[in-house]
Structure 1
Amino acid sequence: MKRRTLATRSLALAAALSLGLAACSTDDGGDSADGGGDGGGGDDQLVVGTLLPLTGTLAFLGPPEVAGVGLAVDEINEAGGVLGNDVTIEGADSGDSTDFNVSTQSATDLIGKDADVMIGAASSSVSLNVVDMVTEAGVMQISPANTSTTLSGYSDLFARTAPPDSVQGSALGSLILDSGATKVGFLVQNEDYGTGLRDNVQQTIEAGGAEAVYGGTGAGQEFQPGESNFSAQVTDLLAQDPDVISVIAFDETKAIVTELVAQGWDLGGKTFFCDGNTASYEGDFDEGTLEGVIGTIPGAEAKGEFKERLDAFYADSEGGELTSYAYGPESYDATILAALAAVRGGSADGQTIADNIKSVSGADGGTEVSSFAEGVEALEAGDDIHYVGVSGTGPLNDDNDPSSAFIGVYEYDSSNVQNFTRAVEGQIG
């Protein structure tokens, strides 16, 4: 038996939600709605498992992602639920890549609690740690934040609402080139996310005539996740006289910035962050330390009205205040897509969701809808649908990646707080 009690409020973040950093094909055709889509395993109770970072180096992403899933479930249930039943949430901590035992145990627990779809993880390395287990269990996994290109087309039961690193890498590399840099130093953590993003940034800068003078592909100069002493790396990097430095890291960024400042590097206008570390550092450094630093985060900026809905949900469910909205829209969209796929297929089991998720994302065209309620109405009328979500991504492609996506560009002010400046859209092959 599946749990019938709504567990949205069970995701207590407690002390784990510190601002410690880290920070990402199947055929789907068939006729629509009323059980007429692909799948139809007879499961009428949708259980959403969340595998999100409540602790560890990506814990700053936990609150907006938890809020995105919870808000979506509330709105789904207000619209009548999925297949006549309320959707329930089972929450679990993904941890990070410094201790894979956390995500292994959490995924095992969620499978044991009959999760039909697992929203998460935030870390690509964490998803790679559990995706085979999740797929074998027949559970659909949708990450709102994974960006590793390794995960493109990895499994019919894996999809994501964040773009692969080829898109962020191109955008970040272009920003570096726009700064006039010709010599780029990289400080990169040695795991799939870090090296994959670095490789894509490096390809872009090299195509534009710049070179990697430290930390580049094949140089063997990456650091291990969780590293805290960067004296030697920064000394070696600065000896190469770089024009700019690209920091691809999570919570290690605080120690990196401290060492860069100690060795005389002026970060403003010469340092670039990514989604793993573009977060608020207000109170962490002296005023003005990060002023002018540029960062990128995949996904469109959360709009005012949607932010208000996230804020209200989080205040009501957790009694707290959101300080970041990164991947909140993607988490919301992942949940709505899963629910619409279950409605289209007439069953809430993982395989049915996998069989129908591309179609409801707009891969087959159809009526544009912007909410779960609109989607259900169109499906019940026999229409194909194109869910246009708050994250601004295009329909899922054959690899279950968004076919297009926005990359947000942020600049730090004198308070060491990141501020959205603009978004660039990229297409995904």
Structure 2
Amino acid sequence: MSDMTAPAKRPNNPHFSSGPCSKRPGWSLDSLKDASLGRSHRAKIGKTKLKDAIDKTREILGVPDDYRIGVVPASDTGAVEMALWSLLGARGTDILVWESFGAGWATDVVKQLKLDDVRVMEADYGTLPDLSKVDFSRDVVFTWNGTTSGVRVPNGDWIADDREGLTICDATSAAFAQDLAWDKLDVVTYSWQKVLGGEAAHGMLILSPRAVERLESYTPAWPMPKIFRMTKGGKLIEGIFKGETINTPSMLCVEDYLDALNWSKEIGGLKALRARADANLAVLEAWAEKTSWVDFLAKDKAIRSNTSVCLTIVDAEVAALDEAAQAAFAKALVARLDKEGVAFDIGAYRDAPSGLRIWAGATVEASDLEALTEWLDWAFACEKAAL
């Protein structure tokens, strides 16, 4: 194949978006035929489905029995904001920032909650802050997997066993693809549309007994919107964590989440989901290793994401261009593949360095990524010839 000849093999599924992510293999609208539509979510059928979603979440993720799991509004963002507004302020806060979503949480805490005692510990895209500098006598807010930088924490070993503060973890692109250290985490959030490819709109909020104790013993100084309130009369509203949602959920989305959870169980649960994501990352690593024009934003393999794979264009001629021209080159490459219908939504996040972001989570097939790599080489050659 010459550089300018398009590859013969196309990905069967060209959906490589980092959120909402690709639907599971074999998904169709028929998967939603049992959805509880036109009924109250507070009717027995609705409550049963919501409780089933919570129970299967616990089973597949291995969430401890004494942790609460709730379905909450507004995707992962809503779940994180509920935690920040409800729990912070009792102690000083350390916030770890190495990509745009972590930066967003820092902005909310500093500029919206306006807490006095906040340390924002930042690192450049592609790296982590110095985890040894985190003070666990304070509350700690961090993302487990940085979706827009392709960098994850390597494990939970850096979190103190005898922590006094709470750990609040945005795990939206890590849950179901990476091992979460539950004994080190007090609040975990994620959304259905990431690793399982579920429909958007709802988030999951998981609380440890320590987080519940904080909720019941601490009242923030600021007004709390109804949609964030998790206590009444100083006690946890237990119904939230039994399927009695704060607001009206989409039962169509709930059915889709149940479908994704059932698929996860059928293929072997968390171990199989993680293995699929790891195999997908391995495809891209093998390609990048033999490809001179591209490299990972995360140079250290120990902190490299197996879901949101972020790549940068390192070809000497492209790298010599100014920043705007480099970004334009990457966008043109992405647009070419989109036009060909072989890869959708693989451009770097708007706040991240220019390049590519390819979703490699468990719903993506390794064979599709293998086919994609040939198209990436073709698109690069085409754009390079146009310089």
What TM-score do you get using the length of structure 2 for normalisation? 0.32
